[in-house]
Structures are given as structure tokens and as C-alpha cells.
Amino acid sequence: MPPIREMTKEEIYEKANSVVGIDGMTGNERLWESGLMDEFDKAKKSDKYKARTILQALKFDELSIGRIVGFSMDSLKYPNAWDFPNENSNGQENDNRAMLEYSNLNEVGMGAPLSGKMQNQT
């Protein structure tokens, strides 16, 4: 039996975007109609980021995503500002590459944004 191929982010968004009338559906209906129910069930157990991507593609709100994927309410109140994927949230590839160079960084307050200088190097 050949190994099961992982679904790409583009394929997830393609399936999600093919659902007609998604705004009036429940979460289970969105997963079922898109054909992403099984993929989501697998991802929820082994790949929380992929599970989150599926729910985002199906237009779940952030609070629901956090509850379904397993984040606690405390982590939603005080999110880790540095815990984010380095990908486009719209599921599109970006062939443009750039590097951001930061200097003179200062923390304004505990958990508050940094101040400093940033320069885009292409």
C-alpha cells in the first residue's frame, strides 16, 4: 500500500473555497461539505497547525478555532506574540523573498511590543 500523501495548504483552501453557502453552515457541516472532515480529525491529533489552517480556510472565528484545536482560554487572553507560522494566512504562495533586519530593539514593557529599527533587504 503506498504511503498516504499529505494534503497541501493550497488543496485545503481549494476544497474550502468550493463550498457554496458556507456562512450559513455549522462547523460540522462546513467540514463535511468541504470533504475535510477526515483530514481535520487526523490533524487535530497530530498537527495542531494544520487543524488550525483547515478551520481558518473554512472561515471559523479565532475564538472557536482556539477552543476546538485545544488552546485554553488563558492562552487566548495572553497569547505568545512570537508564536506564529512564517506563512501567508491566505493560503497563497509568495515567490518574493526578503529579509528584515532589526536593530536597537527595546522591550517597552513585559509582553508589550518592541521598539527599534527595521530595514527591508531584498
For 54-86, write each residue's pLDDT tens digit: 999 999 988 888 888 876 445 545 555 555 555
Low-confidence spans in the chain with pLDDT less than 70: 1-4, 71-100, 102, 105-122
- What are the DSSP E strand ranges found in 1-122? 99-107, 114-121
CA 64 to chain CA centroid, nearest Å: 13
- What's the pLDDT score for residue 86? 57
Mean pLDDT of the chain: 77
pTM: 0.57
- What's the pLDDT score for residue 38? 93
Tell me, what amino acid is at 93?
E
**Which residue in this structure is represented by grid cell 472561515?**
59
CA distance 33 to 76: 29
Residues 6+ apart with CB under 8 A from 34: 15, 16, 18, 19, 57, 58
